[in-house]
Amino acid sequence: MGVLIDSNVLIAAERGLLDVAAKVKGREGEEFFISVITASELLHGVWRAKDAKIRARRAAFVEGVLEHFPILPIELAVARTHAQLWAELNAKGSPIGAHDLWLAASCVALGHGLITRNVREFKRVPGLKVEAW
């Protein structure tokens, strides 16, 4: 089993609010991943920066993340799980954000846990193991 890291964790690290290296210390036997969705969110943050210096700093951080963590693609098994979770959560009247739903579906379909700073939203997803950082 692996662990998927949410973009909000990496954004907190980029802002100096969280030391990811310290958090993963002692967990060398676990595999840590990011989703292709997370990669897009991080890259979006780079392109949103209006100041060239901020954009360059963010780009360097994001490229480091993309080089360090394996990226999980969206596969058919994930799409099937996504569709089911989407329907179930909507039927209960407790949907979650579109990007977060893809992360949750990836974790449930592939048997991974999720590390996030947004536990409130993800705790609504049945079968998802959530770890708060």
Closest by CA position to 66, among listed 29, 99, 33, 44: 33
pLDDT in tens, 73-132: 999 999 999 999 999 999 999 999 999 999 999 999 999 999 999 999 999 999 999 999
pLDDT band at 57 (very low <50, low <70, confident <90, very high): very high
How far apart are the C-alpha atoms of 22 and 60, rounded to whole Å? 20
Is the pTM of the predicted complex or chain greater than 0.85? yes
**Number of domains the chain contains:** 1
Taking residues 45-64, report their average pLDDT.
96
3-state DSSP call for residue 33? strand
E strand intervals along 8-121: 31-35, 71-72, 113-116
How distant, in Å, are the alpha carbons of 52, 63, 108, 121, 131 from that of 76? 38, 27, 13, 24, 25
Q: Which CATH number goes with the domain that contains 25? A: 3.40.50.1010
* Range of the structural domain that residue 9 is part of: 2-132
